[in-house]
Amino acid sequence: MKKLLLILILGIVLISFASADLGTYKQGENISVRGSLDATSVYTTIYYPNSSIAINNQAMQNLAGDIWNYSLQDTDTLGRYVYDYCDQAGTNCKENIFTITNSGIEFPASSQNFLIIAIIFLFLIGCLFFVGFVKEDKMQVKWSLFLVGFMFMLASLNIISVTIYDNITSTALISFFDSITGIMFIVFWICAGLLAVMWFLTLLQSILFKKKMKQAAKFGGMME
């Protein structure tokens, strides 16, 4: 749940980047390592990111036709894994890769500049709302601008936090950034709730005011 905010923010950003490998998975998650090979039996060797062997020449399960699968459970090491799969004679082989990150979200190198621009954009939009908060006199509008600006700031900080989170290996730091992300998620929705309540009360006040004005006008007309 606490990663939902990040997913909503980055959904548009990441959808335009297609991955040529098996994909990106969360640390500790069981992975179906699959490949397509025309053979009667297939064996795979999987390498850790440091090139040491995780699985050596293990038989893959045939799912259907030329689709083969191996269920990998040891995914505690962060980084990019390489796996080979070959027929029984070892003459027909293919290679593929997959990535393990702390969150299961990967930021491709080609998208890093775009993410930097997105962070700066969100931060500047937040600053503009804060400027409006300082200059505005009406209380409802003033605090609405503050909450919206604060939410934009949280969005940019959350992207930075998770980007750092996926590039660290220290257990203490992982726990720290995991907690920070969770706190920002909760604060974001608290701000969203306060904003919704504020807008609802403002709308209700406007409706009641218009109703009173109509009643006053009607009463005044009757007096005449």
Give 119-134 pLDDT, tens digit per residue.
788 888 888 888 888 8
DSSP-derived pairing of the beta strands 67-72 and 61-64: antiparallel
Contact 126, 156 (CB under 8 A): yes
Instruction: Please compute the mean of the pLDDT values over residues 149-165 and round it to a whole number.
Output: 79
| pLDDT of res. 169 | 59
| pLDDT band at residue 140 using 50, 70 and 90 as cut-offs | confident
Most confident of 60-64, 127-131, 174-178, 196-200: 60-64
| pLDDT of res. 11 | 44
Residue 7 pLDDT exceeds 50: no
**CA gap 172, 87 in Å, rounded:** 43
Q: Summarize pLDDT for 21-73 with one digit per residue, the tens.
A: 678 888 888 888 988 998 999 999 999 988 899 999 999 999 988 999 999 98
Q: Shortest CA distance to 43 belongs to which of 75, 90, 108, 8?
A: 90
| pLDDT of res. 10 | 45
Residue 3 pLDDT exceeds 50: no
**pTM for this one?**
0.50
Residue 220 pLDDT exceeds 60: no
Longest dimension (CA), the chain: 105
More confident position, 221 or 84 = 84
**CA gap 147, 153 in Å, rounded:** 10
